[in-house]
């Protein structure tokens, strides 16, 4: 795949997309907290949403609207989740969409809504609505970076990713942004993710590609084993690139799907690395499992284990915790066949202790990224999951999150 990494622009890198932001003072003064993403033409839309039974009002509204397969704008706020606010919460989400639609001169049904922040607090609409109007007045194709900043809550850095591919002789761009730092766990991980592309692609193919991308990215990261009320990943495809429309699972579809997946993986890793209070990214790779699902189950369990995360924070090469987490994951494997590595240092063989260099293991655990490898020695399937260490700061951040 002809892919270019680290291109600027995020959600406005693709042709025909603009973004605007505002500082409405929803929770913090002097912070951008409203973002508006806009396609100059109606776009094919697909989405994946939280599996939590408790769903925020903007999730319910966006789920209904995206079922139609079309959208042209997304209005997002940070600082307030608009969750558990009953009928008033849904009315507020609808009002946010209608305000954005009126300011942009587009159909209200083509505006999706997303919110992130504190659960169970009323939306301060007296601040939100003027903020939406301000954001709409500042729409521009260079606004992606500011939009990525506006959707942050406890994130310490904005997350953006862009890839370009050649489809049918036309340059196609896929760009995205995401936020998420806490309440992150698979199916799907707690986050807001918005992806834009100028590719021409059918609704069925876009939905299929997004589900594949999410399955191999956001559903393989974990920070704290909590799944939120507001999760969503949305992709808009406006077709302006002019490529032959992707309507089936041929080479062009696979090329696009892989670019979309690459963007999602890049954003997912950034989310895990920026976990609340985190000092290290943990990458867990399971090799030679019987099935892909076995590998995924084990990798996610190890990455999500509080004991593994705490050990890595404390620079303790406690491989027993790794094997224990794999054992309760539901994966089918033989414990007596498993080899375990920290980086390139083998710390267990055939499920048993092994003489290894504690000094070398300590050096590996000092790195910003710690790789944990489990070789099941049973099949040919594998998977990788990402998480972060568990630190004192995680408790501090979440101890006073509401205030």
> Which residues are tagged catalytic?
190
| Cα distance from N-terminal residue to C-terminal residue, the chain | 47
CA angle at residue 145 from 139 to 150, to 5 degrees?
80
Nearest-angstrom CA–CA distance, 72 and 236: 8
Count Cβ atoms below 10 Å from residue 314 Cβ, excluding itself: 12
The pair of structure tokens assigned to 116 is 């992130």
The CA distances from residue 229 to 46, 54, 55, 378, in Å, are 19, 6, 5, 38
Pairing of strands 192-197, 232-237: parallel
Nearest-angstrom CA–CA distance, 48 and 1: 25
Nearest-angstrom CA–CA distance, 338 and 352: 8
CA angle at residue 146 from 145 to 150, to 5 degrees?
120
Nearest-angstrom CA–CA distance, 38 and 148: 14
Q: DSSP letter string over 157-204?
A: S-EEEEEEEEETTEEEEEEEEEE-SSS--SSS-S-EEEEEE---B-HH
The pair of structure tokens assigned to 201 is 């692609």
Backbone angles phi, psi at 324, to 5 degrees: -60, -45
Q: Which residue, 156, 154, 257, 149, is CA-closest to 199?
A: 257
């Amino acid at each position: 795949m002809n892919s270019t990494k680290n291109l600027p622009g995020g959600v406005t890198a693709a042709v025909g997309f603009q973004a605007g932001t505002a500082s409405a003072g929803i929770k913090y003064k002097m912070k951008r907290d409203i973002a508006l993403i806009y396609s100059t033409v109606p776009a094919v839309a697909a989405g994946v949403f939280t599996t939590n039974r408790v769903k925020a009002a903007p999730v319910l509204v966006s789920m209904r609207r995206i079922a139609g397969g079309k959208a042209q704008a997304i209005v997002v706020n940070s600082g307030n989740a608009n969750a558990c606010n009953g009928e008033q919460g849904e009315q507020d989400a609808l009002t946010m969409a209608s305000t954005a639609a009126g300011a942009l001169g587009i159909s209200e049904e083509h505006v999706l809504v997303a919110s992130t922040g504190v659960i169970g607090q009323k939306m301060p609409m007296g601040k939100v609505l003027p903020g939406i109007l301000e954001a709409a007045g500042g729409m521009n194709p260079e606004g992606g970076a500011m939009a990525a900043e506006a959707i942050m809550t406890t994130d310490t850095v904005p997350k953006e990713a862009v890839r370009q591919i050649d489809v049918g002789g036309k340059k196609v761009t896929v760009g995205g942004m995401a936020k998420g730092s806490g309440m992150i766990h698979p199916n799907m991980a707690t986050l807001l993710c918005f992806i834009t592309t100028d590719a021409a692609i059918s609704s069925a193919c876009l939905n299929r590609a997004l589900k594949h991308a999410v399955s191999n990215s956001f559903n393989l990261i974990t920070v704290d084993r909590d799944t939120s009320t507001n999760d969503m990943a949305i992709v808009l495809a406006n077709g302006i690139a002019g490529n032959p429309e992707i309507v089936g699972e041929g080479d062009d579809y696979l090329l696009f799907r892989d670019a979309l997946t690459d963007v999602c993986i890049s954003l997912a890793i950034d989310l895990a690395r920026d976990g609340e209070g985190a000092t290290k990214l943990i990458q867990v790779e399971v090799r030679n499992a019987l099935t892909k699902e076995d590998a995924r189950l084990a990798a996610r369990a190890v990455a999500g284990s509080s004991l593994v995360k705490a050990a890595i924070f404390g620079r303790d090469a406690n491989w027993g915790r790794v094997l224990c987490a794999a054992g309760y994951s539901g994966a089918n494997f033989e414990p007596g066949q498993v080899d375990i590595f920290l980086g390139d240092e083998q710390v267990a063989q055939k499920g048993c202790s092994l003489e290894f260099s504690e000094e070398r293991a300590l050096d590996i655990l000092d790195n910003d990224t710690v790789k944990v490898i489990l070789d099941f020695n049973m099949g040919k399937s594998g998977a990788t999951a990402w998480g972060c260490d568990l630190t004192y700061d995680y408790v501090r951040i979440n101890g006073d999150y509401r205030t």
